[in-house]
Amino acid sequence: MKDNNYIPAPIDTSEVQLPPDVAALTEVMARNVHEVWAETRLKQGWTHGERRDDVLKTHPCLVPYDELPEEEKDYDRYTALSTLKLITKLGFSLKKQ
């Protein structure tokens, strides 16, 4: 059953300030977010296409990260940054070995 009243409620991380070394992970994580997404799609039988087509399983973003439009990279960066902020908000810390 679909609930048309769904209202997303992510944990508010707006006040979280990441240390510079952790914030620097954003681009590395964004690249990896794209790689994981692309790997999953390819395993599901998707291929690169000029436009997204769920029937033909084609998607224009099935390209290396560096070839993505900046808007798509920003989406991956936002996902990465949101994840890093959530980890911090929940009381965890990251330490480079």
Q: How confident is the model at residue 4 (pLDDT cuts 50, 70, 90)?
A: confident
The CB density around residue 38, as the number of other CB atoms within 10 Å, is: 19
pLDDT number for residue 3: 66
What pLDDT, in 10s, does the model give residues 46-93? 999 999 999 999 999 999 999 999 999 999 999 999 999 999 999 998
Instruction: Single out the residue of 88, 7, 70, 58 nearest to residue 34, CA to CA.
Output: 70
Express the helix, strand and coil content of the chain in percent, nearest 5 each. Answer: 45, 5, 45
Q: What's the token pair of residue 49?
A: 């296409």
